[in-house]
């Protein structure tokens, strides 16, 4: 079930190790500004769950993030490790590059639509809380520059008003959205190939916390919100993804020990390779 995820990411990893050219900045910009908004629109309008279900997904994601932030703060205060370095890496999971392909393979288009709702909340948090923690400052206007925000607003207008968009518009967004998941997986592989490891013992503890905390909070959200079926499975999978690659980008930009953040990302991703097949089987049991 998860083999295609690792195979495609492995192609990106091998591509860089063979010293082949790959412009991460260009591909990430295409994914962020074109692919992701189109994927959000096409997945949520063509396979639209009810607004109640989307709201439940968003609420579950918000719970996992906020509760994870609180637990991570307590952990980092107890250990004395830098919260500006590790807090984003513990709190924000890789719900895009890795999470979306996994829920698509596990639950099909319905799972992808719900996974996009979770990904949206995680992205908003990452570009507000995550960026503020790493940079030490917060500007609300940053949200308005994120295309995924506008894509969700368009989706809500279409779903609430039942507007029929032109066929050419739906077809174009579907095609452009289709490039997003393969590109995300290739980027995941190329990014991991370029990471450097540091402070193994410390970062391994943080990587283990990211996965264990995600699992515990995902199950807690399912229990508290009484989630069932595909929705419960998507929440469990998305909550338990490894640390997001964008945490490294922020750490690098603002000088927050990027080598340590890179180690957390790589270690949690490698551990996910071993645990994800069992996790997907568990999620499917819902």
Q: Which long-range contacts (CB under 8 A, 24 or more apart) does 48-52 make?
A: 48/113, 48/159, 49/110, 49/113, 49/114, 51/159, 51/160
- What pLDDT shows up at residue 4? 81
Q: Average pLDDT of 150-162?
A: 83
For the chain, give me the number of helices (H) and strands (E)?
Answer: 15, 0
DSSP 107-158: HHHHHHHHHHHHHHHHHHHIIIIIHHHHHS---THHHHT-HHHHHHHHHHHH
The domain of 255 spans 3-284
Q: How many other C-beta atoms can be found within 10 angstroms of the C-beta atom of residue 98?
A: 26
pLDDT band at 2 (very low <50, low <70, confident <90, very high): low
CATH number assigned to the domain comprising residue 274: 1.20.1530.20
Residue indicated by tokens 């452009």: 176
* Assigned token pair, 93: 């999971």
Q: CA triplet 198, 277, 71: central angle to 5 degrees?
A: 50
Above 80 in pLDDT, residue 172? yes
Query: What pLDDT does residue 198 have?
Result: 58
pTM score, two decimals?
A: 0.85
Total number of domains in the chain: 1
26 within 8 A of 123, measured Cβ to Cβ:
no
């Amino acid at each position: 079930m998860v083999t295609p995820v690792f195979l495609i990411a492995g192609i990106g990893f091998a591509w860089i190790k063979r010293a082949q050219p790959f412009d991460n900045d260009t591909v990430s910009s295409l994914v962020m500004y074109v692919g992701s908004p189109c994927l959000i629109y096409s997945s949520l309008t063509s396979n639209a769950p009810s607004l109640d279900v989307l709201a439940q997904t968003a609420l579950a994601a918000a719970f996992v993030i906020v509760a994870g932030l609180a637990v991570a703060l307590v952990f980092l205060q107890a250990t004395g490790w830098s919260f500006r370095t590790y807090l984003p890496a513990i709190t924000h999971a890789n719900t895009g590059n890795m999470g979306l392909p996994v829920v698509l393979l596990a639950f099909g288009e319905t799972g992808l639509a719900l996974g996009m709702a979770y990904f949206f909340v995680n992205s908003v948090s990452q570009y507000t809380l995550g960026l503020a923690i790493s940079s030490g400052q917060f500007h609300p206007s940053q949200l308005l520059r994120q295309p995924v925000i506008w894509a969700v607003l368009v989706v809500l207008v279409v779903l609430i008003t039942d507007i029929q968009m032109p066929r050419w518009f739906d077809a174009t967004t579907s095609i452009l959205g289709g490039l997003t998941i393969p590109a995300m997986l290739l980027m995941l592989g190329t990014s991991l190939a370029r990471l450097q490891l540091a402070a193994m013992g410390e970062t391994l503890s943080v990587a283990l916390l990211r996965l264990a905390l995600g699992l515990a909070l995902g199950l807690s959200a399912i229990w508290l919100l009484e989630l069932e079926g595909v929705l419960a499975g998507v929440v469990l999978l998305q909550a338990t993804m490894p640390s997001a690659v964008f945490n490294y980008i922020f750490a690098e930009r603002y000088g927050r020990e990027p080598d340590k953040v890179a180690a957390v990302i790589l270690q949690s991703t490698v551990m996910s390779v071993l645990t994800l097949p069992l996790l997907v089987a568990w999620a499917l049991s819902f």
